[in-house]
Chains A and B, each alone.
Chain A
Amino acid sequence: MAQDNDREMPDAAAGAEAEEATVEEPAAPIHEKQRLRLLPGSSDTAASFAFDREDHTLGNALRYMIMKNPDVEFCGYSIPHPSEPVMNIRIQTWDDVSVFEVLRKGLNDLAELCDVVEDKFTTARDEFNDKNPDRISKR
């Protein structure tokens, strides 16, 4: 009986290691419905995307970030009907630049912009609180 308990189980150990490696970060939910669709008639350099449950908040901001990319020939967003929570973005690029790369860069740039704003705001706010205990600027 002692021998049975002492038998090594290499498969179980390997399986456990593999599981640890693929554990998702706690931030991302386990299943997320796909909210991004490619509209028909799109190609690799000219495409329209439909964002579900989004509106001018993300639409205008993302359009601005994508337009700051010199590879973009055209970028515009629209909300086809106010009763439906869909937002369309059309991106057309110069030469052979992939539309997906441009969209990913735009989303990336937007996330980095938010990081910078958050940092600077926190610094400015803490400095202000330190200098003005009564919380009103002296003018």
Chain B
Amino acid sequence: MPSWAPLTDDQLAEQRRGLSEEQLQQRRIVNINSETVTDVSGTDIPGHYGPGQDDTWDLNRFAQNLKIDYHQNKPNDAAFSLIGVDASIANAFRRIMLAEIPTLAIEDVFIFDNTSIIQDEVLAHRLGLIPLTGGKAGLDQLGWFKKPPPKDDYAAQAMYDQDDLPASASTPNDHNTIVVSLLVDCRWATIDEDGRDGKQLAKDGETDPAVRYVNSNIYAHQLVFEPQGDQTKWFDGENAIKPVNPDILIAKLRPGQRINLRCHCIKGLGMDHAKFSPVATASYRLLPSIDITAPIVGIEAKKFQRCFPRGVIALEKDANSGETKAVVADPMKDTVSRECLRHDEFKGKVKLGRIRDHFIFSVESTGQFESDELFLESVRLLKKKAEKFKRHLTELEEGR
């Protein structure tokens, strides 16, 4: 066997006996010192530790080491730990959640009447940013729409058919576009229609626009979903397209002003425009590690506890000497502010770091999808990317 070939299980065990559990754990930690951060990059590349350590990719070993711990699973806010993956994979999942999961949002706004003080383009921009929600199955089967560029824009025409979309994607139809409309008139409140005389109340000194006028504030719940064609089957009742937050203020009007517009909603990707990003944000942080190398007791222990957020360090009574001693209770609550490294009394007694392959994800959805579904979708999308390039590779090889 060549020196760099993967080791058998016996040889691995032999090698591991030379390393203590502590030493193995030390390899997983990014060291955080008072002025520097060291050992940042992953070192699980074959050959890094010499022929003794076998770091070749092994799916079974990966499956054994992978751990997923859930902390919170509210519909729009999920927190979980992914342990045992490399940073490049965790980052790929995060980037896909932010930018590459298809989401529905208002794209084209056809304005028939806008006599409000909000400019057309500002109004259209605000409408685009409203997060929408609807039936999952319906949204999944919705196709793509890509508006063809004008015939005289030769550059855009050349780039237009880069996307592998079917011909029907160039016209808006009930399989790729959702129509939502808004029709609001603002007027004075009258006794006949609203039970109060706005003009009279104004004369008497009332200044609140909600009392004086009707429809002076336009909210997102006033958007009306107009199902087209087949959409009545996919988006009816509970599954209708509606804004996630009905109380988003779109515009303010005064009597005599009117907004009459129709919006076309299409599927898009976050990498094109942030309105298509399904997450408020998706982020991860590494699990902090606090290593108390020499005992910290008494008053120093209390001071040590105050250097960290509440709950990170607990004070325990040492069984032998009876003094209070600082112990690490919950490193997950730590924000790694390195405050304890600023004080001389703790020099040499504490080592801060982060565990390189323990990612604490926090996925906050905007409401169109649920957070756990978003992470699963991002994993499936990464797999689809890999499969797609396997096909392209076969085509490339056949052409050679």
Residues of A within 8 A of B (CB): 28-29, 31-38, 51, 53-58, 60-65, 67-70, 100, 103-104, 107-118, 120-122, 124-125, 127-129, 132, 135-137, 139
Contacts and interface: CB of A to CB of B under 8 A. Distances in A.
A117 B59 contact: no
B389 A65 contact: no
A109 B395 CA distance: 19
A5 B226 CA distance: 52
Contacts, number: 156
B393 A58 contact: no
Contacts of A118: 376, 379-380, 383
A68 B57 contact: yes
Contacts of B67: 120
Contact of B96 (A29, A57, A67): A57
Contacts of A51: 389
Contacts of A60: 88, 91-92
A40 to B, nearest CB: 13
A58 B92 contact: yes
Interface in B300-329: none
A101 B303 CA distance: 58
Contacts of A122: 376
Given A64-B86, A109-B57, A135-B74, A36 B393 contact: yes
A113 B70 contact: no
Nearest to B162: A33
A68 B66 CA distance: 16
Interface residues of B, number: 58
Contact of A58 (B57, B86, B380, B385): B385
Interface string B69-111: 1111110000010100110110110011001100000000000
Nearest to A36: B392
Contacts of B382: 57-58, 61, 110, 114
Given A61-B88, A64-B42, 7 more contacts: A33-B162, A57-B91, A57-B99, A67-B46, A114-B382, A114-B386, A135-B73
B260 interface: no
A137 B70 contact: yes
Contact of B396 (A28, A36, A107, A132): A36
Question: Which 7 pairs between the two chains have the least Cβ-Cβ distance?
Answer: A68-B57, A128-B70, A114-B383, A60-B88, A36-B392, A124-B68, A61-B92
A127 B6 CA distance: 36
A124 B80 contact: yes
B209 to A, nearest CB: 40
B5 interface: yes
B194 interface: no
Contacts of B330: 139
A117 B44 CA distance: 19
Nearest to B92: A61
A32 B375 contact: no
A37 B395 CA distance: 10
5 contacts: A32-B391, A34-B396, A36-B389, A64-B88, A110-B386
Nearest to A28: B391
B397 interface: yes
A53 B389 CA distance: 12
Given A125-B73, A137-B72, A68 B55 contact: yes
A36 B88 CA distance: 21
